[in-house]
Amino acid sequence: MIKLILASNSPRRKQILTDLGLDFEVVPSNYDEKLEDDIFSYEKIEDLATQKCLDVLRRVDNNSLVIAADTVVVLHNNILGKPHSKEEAFEMLKELSGATHSVVTSICAINKKTNRAALISTTSYVRFKELSDEMIHYYIDTFNPLDKAGSYGIQELPPNYLDKFEGSFENIVGLCPEAVKSVLTQLEY
């Protein structure tokens, strides 16, 4: 039986795989996710997911299938990564206020035994309500925005912050279940 390896320590991604009924081990990627610039392209995000997958693939045995992902928030074709400070988180949330943005998650899976790979990207859309400075400060002080792309986690947003979303909710959280099933099916897992 081939071992499924999740190349992420994200509690959100672990929960999504658990909810799918998958038995897996966690081997976090050590790949440095630095981008040359903040201009969005699917190729850039797919490359990040692939590099994370390859990093872990080198450290696991031949009977493994590694799945890795990268999620970005995109506003006006610019990638909003993880903020480095509360001030940066505030600026990002201020930019997202009242605007529609996209959330893109790319998944790469590689079966080490067969050397076959599958790659898929899923896009969802999120629109925030107009957020006051007080609402933004409350969110930053109550939740930890520093480990989340775009400075927020949709699953923890207070109800009066979100106007609407389109597409996969779990994709916005960090891993689209349908995309996971698709890559695993392509690799005959």
DSSP states of 146-171: GGSGGG--GGGS-TTTEEEEES-HHH
Tokens of 149: 């792309």
What is the phi/psi pair of residue 10, to 5°? Answer: -60, 120
Closest CA to 149 of 13, 20, 50: 13
Give residue 184's identity as a one-letter amino acid code.
Answer: L
| Catalytic member of 32, 37, 61, 70 | 70
Q: Is 133 a catalytic residue?
A: no
- By annotation, the residues acting in catalysis are 70
